[in-house]
């Protein structure tokens, strides 16, 4: 059994320890904001935070999160990172980032992790942090603009 914290609550998962975290989140905990994209940690749609670090949940076995803090897109709003998440959300809307929306929870989770670690990212920093997130609609330029906008709004706060 894997015991961990999920969005601030104690979680106990009793299925196979090699079950990918993604499927535990979606099927067992009914948190469907985290998406399945490729199953090989290449697209970023499944990004969650594990102890604050952006993590691809599709290749992370549930046993790897034993004793750790897992935060999903559903839970990011109630964490200490909520101000950053709100700034990212506002910038995403302002810059009209979303097209189909499928990749967005992973994009947002990666952007929040970046801005938490680096509140003044350069273009190269943004590109590096977001490089594992594929947007099938090609909104990469708007993602970069939104991250810069979120960083600027956080500096004003």
Using one digit for the tens of pLDDT, what is the confidence trace for 8-60? 999 999 999 999 999 999 999 999 999 999 999 999 999 999 999 999 999 99
Rounded-to-integer distance, Cα 24 and Cα 20, Å = 7
Percent of the chain with pLDDT over 90: 96
Q: Identify the residue whose tokens are 């970069």.
A: 144
pTM for this entry:
0.95
Rounded-to-integer distance, Cα 141 and Cα 139, Å = 6
């Amino acid at each position: 059994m894997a015991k961990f914290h999920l969005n601030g609550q104690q979680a106990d998962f009793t299925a196979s320890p090699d079950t990918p975290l993604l499927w535990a989140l979606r099927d067992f905990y009914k948190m469907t904001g985290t998406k399945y994209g490729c199953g090989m940690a290449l697209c970023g749609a499944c990004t969650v935070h594990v102890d604050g670090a952006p993590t691809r949940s599709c290749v992370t076995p549930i046993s790897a999160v034993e004793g750790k803090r897992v935060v999903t897109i559903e839970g990011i709003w109630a964490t200490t990172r909520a101000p950053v998440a709100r700034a990212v959300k506002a910038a995403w809307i302002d810059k009209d980032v979303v097209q189909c929306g499928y990749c967005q929870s992973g994009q947002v989770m990666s952007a929040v992790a970046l801005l938490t670690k680096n509140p003044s990212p350069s273009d190269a920093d943004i590109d590096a942090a977001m490089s594992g997130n594929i947007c099938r609609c090609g909104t990469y330029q708007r993602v970069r603009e939104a991250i810069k906008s979120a960083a600027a709004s956080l500096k004003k706060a």
